[in-house]
Amino acid sequence: MRAIKDSVHDYIEVDGVAEALLDTPPVQRLRHIKQLSTIRLVYPSANHTRFEHSLGVFHLADRALEHLDVTGARADTVRAAALLHDVGHGPTAARPEGTDRTPPRPPPRTTSPTSS
């Protein structure tokens, strides 16, 4: 078992399948991806990574599983999913920058009066 110091949850204990996943390249890559993209340029303290976020999600999922008395393979699957849920994100935010805007609507069509 590994205990990881966390600024929100104090110590997060990771073992089993999740501990094995921690050292994989896809999970370690999350250490270099900012959770809030470029927000840190305006708010310097908004500087946490997707790795820290994923550890927190793992911790909360683990607590929920204990509360619900879920064990075994099902619990391991949920813990792994919690830890891995961000591995597919690119280097910025949840969506690539600029793709969250809807295209502008064309102006309404007007009909010109016809001459008689």
CA-wise closest residue to 35 among 47, 45, 27, 24: 47
pTM: 0.75
Contacts by residues 57-65 (CB-CB < 8 Å, ≥ 24 positions apart): 57/82, 57/83, 57/85, 58/12, 58/14, 58/18, 58/82, 58/83, 59/6, 59/9, 59/12
> What does the pLDDT profile of the chain (116 residues) look like in tens digits?
999 999 999 999 999 999 999 999 999 999 999 888 788 788 888 888 999 999 999 999 999 999 999 999 999 999 999 999 999 987 765 555 555 566 667 777 777 666 55
